Amino acid sequence: MIPALSIENLSKSYDNGFEALKGISLEVKQGDFFALLGPNGAGKSTTIGVLCSLVAKTAGKVAVFGIDIDDDFPAAKKCIGIVPQEFNFNHFEKVLDIVINQAGFYGLPAGIARQRAEKYLRELGLWDKRDVSARMLSGGMKRRLMIARALVHEPKLLILDEPTAGVDIEMRRSMWDFLKKINAAGTTIILTTHYLEEAEALCRNIAIINHGKIVENTSVRSLLKRLQREVFIFDTIDELPEQIPVQGFVARRKDEHSMEIEVEKGQHINEVFAQLDAAGIKVSSMRNRANRLEEMFVNLVEGGA
Amino acid sequence: MSPAEQYVAFITILRKEVKRYTRIWPQTLLPSAITMSLYFVIFGSLIGSRIGEMGGFTYMEFVVPGLIMMAIVTNSYSNVVSSFFGSKFSHSVEELLVSPTPSYVILMGYVLGGVSRGLLVAIIVTLVSLFFTRLHIHSYAIVIVVVLMTSMLFALAGFINAVYANSFDDISIVPTFVLTPLIYLGGVFYSMDLLPDFWAGVSKLNPLVYVVNAFRYGVLGVSDVSLTFAFSMIGGFTLVAFFYSLHLLRSGKRLRQ
């Protein structure tokens, strides 16, 4: 099957000599939910910029659903919907006009444009705000407006650059549900995010980019399997002694009722519970100190993995 | 994009532009009506009555075509420069750049938006002028062609200014320091016959001289310059501005990285 996105040796050098992309290659399968992760300045937004023609590549090949952007960029653009990181609509236009105009830029006749705009504004909970000037919307609503705008021409590939930045937890969860729904309906999704919990919850495959190079490109599951060590925080009902009564694990007392315990790959967390139980310490809750993917991400971008 | 899709995209941009300037009509349409009324009162009625005839017409009849053309030039220019720079500044131009809309459709959408405002203001100013003088049209064909070509030329000039502008100051520099002096020295208020030979020769380097005189010929049937030469100049400048604007859009200069 033709991949939704194929990138080969993509490079971008700016006039000041800065190399934002150093020959990256990656492939995203049709129907995938794909995460592109990396620290600030790693090259994520530059990659997305090339895909939507806002950044001119220096070298390399990019094909969207088999359409080479050098051969027929307009046809490739029809397959792509972009949700950028920054709000890039006219804040003085009405919500409905913004979405309908975008449909017009893709050549959709007025009747279809209106129907689609209503469909996506309803699905994203913005229909009641259709006649409101965009500047009056909250941050979360503005993000949803950009998603509705990106979907109005019903692209086969949706690219979201930090779609949930600055969005409250409840709103983020509802956006996740919406994205899962459209992915299940067949839209390929590429997501960049700083919330690694988001990538872990939504994405099947992942590429990590750092200093303009792809340092990892695999499935989320296989990446997590390679995690060598996880740190858990245990909250206890009983007061903890100065010396944590857990042998064979690195354990640190945080305060009277909480401690951190490192669990290496191959060790079993049951052993920790058994030892705590034997010492008469009851655990009220346990959680990861950081998101598992975050641990892996830090290892990869710091060159430790 | 198919031709039908391109047409939809073009109409969308044009409609958006018309909606923009009609929504803020007190800033876009009203000022020209007020300013031109003042010109008609001061230069036409009060001072004009003391000047007497100019080029064989009353001074009011003489200045009306130039003032209408002045309104067309400034409005078609300022519509595109402020709209396109505004969309560049707010990044909403990216809505168009990421779409499959061809560059020439984007350009024509913005330019025709500017032309439409120029025409609308021309109609308003012409109606206002009827309170002060009777207007005889010598050639409707010449009037229409000159108005369309001129508004297109200055809409394109506004587009080029918008592409190069980095700040809101940059979009007011050209109208203030270039366009306004050229208009005032372009024969709006006087006939070239009044100038000494040297300054009449210098004036012929001013493109506004051809625009004003071609339009005055359409209205009054008199011109200080050859009509053929005037049309050649306006047409030539329009073509150069069109292809240069298209080059700017296609190359993405100051729009893409």
Distance from the B195 Cα atom to the nearest Cα atom in chain A, whole angstroms? 49
Residue that terminates a domain, selected from A218, A241, A256: A218
Residue that terminates a domain, selected from A170, A192, A218: A218
Question: How many structural domains are present in chain A?
Answer: 2
Q: What is the pLDDT of residues B136-176, one digit of tens each?
A: 888 999 999 999 999 999 999 999 999 999 888 888 888 88
**Taking CA A138 as the corner, what is the angle to CA A136 and CA A142, rounded to the nearest 5 degrees?**
90
The chain A residue lying nearest B100, using CA atoms, is: A74
Contacts 24+ apart (CB under 8 A), B124-131: B124/B29, B124/B32, B124/B33, B125/B32, B125/B33, B125/B36, B125/B67, B125/B68, B125/B71, B126/B68, B128/B33, B128/B36, B128/B37, B128/B40, B129/B36, B129/B40, B129/B64, B129/B67, B129/B68, B131/B40
The Cα B72–Cα A160 span in angstroms is 43
Please report the residues numbered 72 through 131 in chain B whose beta carbons come closer than 8 angstroms to any beta carbon of chain A: 86-87, 90-92, 94-102
Q: Do A141 and A255 reside in the same domain of the chain?
A: no
Q: What is the pLDDT of residues B95-123, one digit of tens each?
A: 999 999 999 999 999 999 999 999 999 99
Structure tokens at B115: 């032309």
Tell me the percentage of chain B whose pLDDT exceeds 90: 49
Structure tokens at A73: 């960029």
Q: Do A154 and A265 reside in the same domain of the chain?
A: no
Q: What SS3 class is residue A202? A: helix
Where exactly are the structural domains of chain B? 3-251
**Taking CA A160 as the corner, what is the angle to CA A155 and CA A164, rounded to the nearest 5 degrees?**
135
Tell whether A106 lies on the interface with B, counting CB pairs under 8 A.
yes
| Residue A290 pLDDT greater than 80, yes or no | no
CB pairs under 8 A between A and B: 82
Which of A51-65, A130-144, A222-236, B139-153 has the lowest average pLDDT?
Answer: A222-236
List CB contacts of B113: < 8 A, sequence separation 6 or more.
Answer: B13, B14, B16, B17, B18, B20, B21, B79, B80, B83, B155
Which positions in chain A touch B100 (Cβ < 8 Å)?
Answer: 73-75, 77-78, 105-107
Residue that terminates a domain, selected from A190, A218, A246: A218
Give me the residue from A74, A87, A149 closest to B100, CB to CB. Answer: A74
Tell whether B58 lies on the interface with A, counting CB pairs under 8 A.
no
User: Looking at residue A227, what is its pLDDT?
Assistant: 66
Q: Do A245 and A202 reside in the same domain of the chain?
A: no
The chain B residue lying nearest A84, using CA atoms, is: B94
Q: Do A198 and A84 reside in the same domain of the chain?
A: yes
Q: What is the pLDDT of residues A155-182, one digit of tens each?
A: 999 999 988 877 777 888 888 889 999 9
The chain B residue lying nearest A69, using CA atoms, is: B100
Q: Do A213 and A237 reside in the same domain of the chain?
A: no
**ipTM of model:** 0.86
| Residue A223 pLDDT greater than 80, yes or no | no
Domain coverage including residue A266: 226-301
Nearest residue to A99 via CA among A139, A75, A63, A134 = A134
Nearest residue to A106 via CA among A152, A65, A41, A64 = A152
User: Looking at residue A291, what is its pLDDT?
Assistant: 62
What order do you get walking across the sheet with A67-68 strand by strand?
Answer: A19-28, A5-13, A59-64, A67-68
Q: Do A182 and A234 reside in the same domain of the chain?
A: no
Q: Do A96 and A137 reside in the same domain of the chain?
A: yes
Q: What is the largest CA-CA distance in chain B?
A: 61
Question: Rounded mean pLDDT of A251-277?
Answer: 86
- What CATH number is given to the structural domain containing A294? 3.30.70.1560
Distance from the B90 Cα atom to the nearest Cα atom in chain A, whole angstroms? 6
The chain B residue lying nearest A110, using CA atoms, is: B8
Q: Helix crossing, B3-23 with B103-129: angle to 10°?
A: 40
Q: Do A191 and A77 reside in the same domain of the chain?
A: yes
The residue written with tokens 């209408």 in the block is B68
Mind spelling out the 3-state secondary structure of B227-257? Answer: HHHHHHHHHHHHHHHHHHHHHHHHHCCCCCC
Tell whether A56 lies on the interface with B, counting CB pairs under 8 A.
yes
| Residue A5 pLDDT greater than 70, yes or no | yes
Structure tokens at A168: 């409250």
Residue A305 banded pLDDT, cuts 50, 70, 90: very low
Q: Residues A222, A215: contact at Cβ < 8 Å? A: no
